[in-house]
A and B are shown apart, each in its own frame.
Chain A
Amino acid sequence: MTLSLNIPRLETDRLILRGPEAADFEPLCAFLMDPVRSAGFGTEETRSDAWRWFAVNIGHWALHGYGYFTIEMKDTGQPAGISGIWNPEGWPEPEVGWVVFDGFEGRGIAHEAATTARDWAYNTLGFTTLTSNILPGNTRSVALAERMGAWFERSYDNVHMGAEMLYRHPGPDALAEGAA
């Protein structure tokens, strides 16, 4: 069996979205093991668990052809977070997700990255709709989803996170017509 990974490199004004690299592990691990920062994403208890998540993401790319990009700051080359399309076993449908690491909040990085990932999913992968699953109380993510034009559709029980709110993003046609 031959597995191929072909992860594109996407550029915005300030950011590069690219495939995960070994050097991304430490900042990712710090995020995943921080129970406060990763509460809305899914916390990993040990470094080994965090490493496994790093491998899960690469495997997700291999299986689906999409996954989480590392968000890299153009000016410094630092990893600032992750954003991409995620669709594990038991998920209601593919979602666009975003996370920024400690020290990178408040600059619109998540919005710039998530919008780019969503455009890529629509324009290159041919997705016609996308969701974002958000834990009740995660007001920052709700605000970002709404800024991206997404709306609350329903609550559901996520296999991993429990009760979550499903936000529906405007499709590619609606975006082309100017939604968000």
Chain B
Amino acid sequence: MQVTVTIPELETERLILRAYDDARDLDRFSAFMETDASRFFMGPMDRYGTWKLGCAIMGHWMRYGYGLFAIEEKATGEFVGLTGVWEAETWPHPELAWMLMQDKEGKGYATEAARRARDYIFNDLQWTSVVSAIEEDNAGSMKVADRLGAKPDFEHTRPSGIKVIYYRHPAPQTAMETVQ
């Protein structure tokens, strides 16, 4: 079995989207995942669980050829979150996901990063439509979805009983215009 996947490096004004790197990112990623702030992003979990999640992110790239990018803050070089496509055999839809560490909130980073990831989805992957799954009480992510021009489209209840609202992003042409 041979597979080769290249994870691109994408840039915005203040951020770099690049491959997740265990050696550079695990400490900060794990610090976030240990707190309750990670409850909308599969957490909380311990360092071992976070290591597994990092591994799953890389495995996802190998399996599908796309996946989640680490978000790096240009000014500090620090890992500040994740954005990109997350998909699972067991989920109803692939989605544009984002996660931002608490200490970097309030700067518009999540919107800036997710918008760049969405451009990648439309321009590089050539998808014509994409959704984001947001848990019903995740007000922070709903705000980001609003800023990205996404609208509630349909609901889904996970096997765990958690209700998720799928936001539909504007189609590629409209999305490009919202960048301006």
Kindly supply a per-residue 1/0 record for chain A positions 2-23, scoring 1 wherever the CB is within 8 Å of any chain B CB and 0 otherwise.
1111110100000000110110
Interface residues on A, range: 35 or more
A99 located at the interface, meaning its Cβ lies under 8 Å from any Cβ of chain B in the complex:
no
B57 CB to nearest A CB, Å:
7
Interface residues on B, range: 35 or more
Residues of B within 8 A of A52 (CB): 52-53, 56, 88
Residues of B within 8 A of A60 (CB): 55, 59
A11 CB to nearest B CB, Å:
14
From known contacts A46-B160, A47-B159, infer whether A63 and B4 are also in contact, taking CB-CB under 8 Å: no
Identify A55's interface contact among B2, B7, B56, CB under 8 A. Answer: B56
B139 located at the interface, meaning its Cβ lies under 8 Å from any Cβ of chain A in the complex:
no
Residues of B within 8 A of A59 (CB): 54-60, 62
**Alpha-carbon distance between A52 and B49 when the two chains are bound, in angstroms:** 11
B166 located at the interface, meaning its Cβ lies under 8 Å from any Cβ of chain A in the complex:
no
Residues of B within 8 A of A1 (CB): 6-7, 9, 18-19
Kindly supply a per-residue 1/0 record for chain B positions 14-48, scoring 1 wherever the CB is within 8 Å of any chain A CB and 0 otherwise.
00001100100010000000000000000000111
A56 located at the interface, meaning its Cβ lies under 8 Å from any Cβ of chain B in the complex:
yes
**B49 to chain A: closest residue by CB:** A160
**B4 to chain A: closest residue by CB:** A4
A180 located at the interface, meaning its Cβ lies under 8 Å from any Cβ of chain B in the complex:
no
Do A2 and B159 touch across chains, with their CB atoms under 8 A apart? no
Identify B1's interface contact among A9, A47, A48, A159, CB under 8 A. Answer: A9
**Alpha-carbon distance between A52 and B68 when the two chains are bound, in angstroms:** 14
A51 located at the interface, meaning its Cβ lies under 8 Å from any Cβ of chain B in the complex:
yes
Do B88 and A51 touch across chains, with their CB atoms under 8 A apart? yes
Do B1 and A55 touch across chains, with their CB atoms under 8 A apart? no
Do B59 and A57 touch across chains, with their CB atoms under 8 A apart? yes
Residues of A within 8 A of B159 (CB): 46-48
Residues of B within 8 A of A63 (CB): 22, 55, 58
Residues of B within 8 A of A21 (CB): 1
Do A62 and B51 touch across chains, with their CB atoms under 8 A apart? no
Identify A47's interface contact among B22, B62, B90, CB under 8 A. Answer: B90
**A25 to chain B: closest residue by CB:** B89
- Chosen A-B contacts, 6 in total, with CB atoms closer than 8 Å, are A3-B5, A5-B1, A48-B90, A56-B59, A89-B48, A90-B48
Closest 3 CB pairs of A and B: A19-B1, A59-B59, A58-B59
